[in-house]
Amino acid sequence: MNKELMLDMFYAAPELWYILFTVFLLLLIFLFSAEIKVLKLTQKNYFINRDRERYAETLYASKDGYFAFIYPDESVNDPQNFIKERCSRRLAVILDLAQGTASTFEDVLKCFYKEDAKKIQKYVYLMREDGVSFEEKFVLKNGNRQLRLSGARINANDGNLYCDMVWFRDITEESSYITVLEDERKSAILCSRQLEDIIDNLPYPAWLRDEQHQLVLINKKYLSFIKGANKRDVIEHQAEITTVAGNSVSRQLAEQAVLQNRAQKQEINLILNGDHRSFEVFENPFHLGEYLDKIWTVGTLVDITELDTLKRNLVLHQNAHLGILGALGTAFAVFGKDYKLSFYNKAFVSLWQQDSHWLEGHPSYSSFLENIREKRLLPEVPDFKSYKNGEMEAFSSVLEPKEDLLHLPNGNTIRRIRSPYPMGGLVFAFEDVSDRLATQQAYNALLQVQQELLDNLFDTVIIFGSNGRLKAYNHAYLSLWQLDDIFLQKEPSIAELLEEKRKFFDNVENWQELKEDILAHLMNANTKTFRLSRNDGVQIDVVSSLLSDDSIMVTGKILEQEYDTNGSK
């Protein structure tokens, strides 16, 4: 029924239906296109929001904090009422703001010292009013951390004002590191200046060459040898110190030093200020830092004129001294630093029974020892090899004159003195002291017999030398006066010896007078005998005699004590 009605209506007014169909189709097309636009806008907004979030998170992730003054579009009638302040999360952490990202700029200013806060406020005012950028360091009140604040205005491409931003960067560590670097820089500069002062104040020229043997550094003394204006000109023109022939004194030597990787030196003669002088040139190679393939050299020119003169004079004096030694009766020989015989005298030939022709061949000290050993002129030792090694070591160990005795198998005794030779090696002096030792032994035996005779006497005996000090005494004297043997061995004077006896004369009213009286009797050659009475009743007759060598011998005889019939003294 409805179908038939629809058909009737269609056939009754077909134009109307065409119009309705067309309108409906257009409506569908419009809705479809509108949907597509909505989808595109939605997609665009999605990416815009995602980019906005990405940029926001990027700002949040920055190590710098920021505080932004965000402005509205210019179409707003009163922009000042719509300005937004935004504190970043990083800034809230840096300043430890209690309100976090909701903090105002006043909260930020409270984190700085009063004067700094005023300065920051002025900077921000100029930035917001005139767009003036700024950058400066400030210190936080709490923690003494340093921040670098930098302000800048952000505009759109069309000139529209977006915002004014103040960036906050914590530069505490960087500042500390910069401070350390600055201190190190100052220290390096000071060290460099000190090293330059050291080099410039050397009394001789010094220079530095690179791997191409070119001059790269010289000292002030170098200029006096080439009459250069300044160091820069010398380096620029590679002005070398030259000989009379015009050749460099050291460039070729530097090439040899690099080639052999060893220090080189050479003696040269130069005319300096009209004087002929001798110099010694040195070139010492070294690897430049960690560059093993780059070898530079350091050169010096040392004046050795006086040294040469001293050497010549030394040779003359040595020859003169050796000539004197050659005429002496003591046997002398010089073995040089190469251990070979360089000098000997006639007494040396005679003492060691040597052949002059063999000695003229400059034998070594080792050969000399073997030679005199064959003639039984060396002490008998169980290990001759070890003995010889010890003798050879003396060339490096003897630093001052050293004396010893050589007891030979034939009964002779040789006194030997070894002393360092100025030119290297040792000087030997040999003297046959056999007779002297025999005489000394006989003398010591005589003294021993004399002491035994004194010790066997009942009377006390003491002998004072010509200098007034004790030289000898016997056991009877030591026992009588109860003296310390160690004290007597120190050779006390007559006065010191009397002071030790004072305890035996305590009953004397004036000890000083008695002491002077005893001294007068002892020193008087005419005094025959005088008597001393001690506190303990012992009486001693003392006799003083002057000996032929001006010594004084004092003997004491203890008197026998008499007793009465009752047995008392």
Q: Beta 134-139 vs 215-218: how paired, if at all?
A: unpaired
Write down the architecture of domain 447-558 according to CATH: 2-Layer Sandwich (3.30)
Q: Output the CA–CA distances (angstroms, integers) from residue 443 to 437, 449, 450, 461, 536, in the order listed.
A: 10, 10, 10, 21, 41
Q: What is the pTM of this model?
A: 0.41
Query: Domain 62-170, CATH 3.40.50.720 — does that match?
Result: no
Q: b/e for 219-250, b at 16 or more Cβ within 10 A?
A: bebbbebbebeebeebbeeebbbeeeeeebbb
pLDDT-above-70 percentage for the chain:
83
204's tokens: 């001789």
Q: Name the fold adopted by 202-303.
A: Beta-Lactamase (3.30.450)
What is the tens place of the pLDDT at every residue in 468-517?
Answer: 888 888 888 888 888 888 888 888 888 888 888 888 888 888 888 888 88
pLDDT, tens digit only, all 569 positions of the chain: 466 666 666 566 667 667 777 878 888 888 888 888 888 887 777 766 676 666 666 666 677 899 999 888 665 545 556 788 889 888 898 898 999 989 999 999 999 999 999 999 999 999 998 889 999 999 998 877 899 999 999 887 777 788 899 999 988 888 888 888 888 999 989 888 888 888 888 888 898 998 888 988 888 888 888 876 788 888 888 888 887 777 888 888 888 988 888 888 888 888 777 677 888 899 999 887 766 678 899 998 888 877 766 666 655 555 555 555 555 557 888 898 899 998 888 888 888 888 888 988 889 999 999 998 888 888 888 898 999 899 899 988 888 889 888 888 888 888 899 989 877 888 898 888 877 766 777 667 766 767 666 767 777 888 888 888 888 888 888 888 888 888 888 888 888 888 888 888 888 888 888 888 888 887 776 666 888 888 888 888 888 888 777 788 888 888 865 433 333 33
Q: What is the dihedral of CA 192, 195, 201, 204, to 10 degrees?
A: -120
Query: Domain 336-432, CATH 3.30.450 — does that match?
Result: yes
Distance of CA 368 to the CA centre of its chain: 45
Considering only CA atoms, which of 317, 239, 244, 238 is closest in space to residue 279?
A: 244
Predicted pLDDT of residue 568:
35
Instruction: Dump the DSSP string for 421-477.
Output: -TTSSEEEEEEE-HHHHHHHHHHHHHHHHHHHHHHT-SSEEEEE-TTSBEEEE-HHH
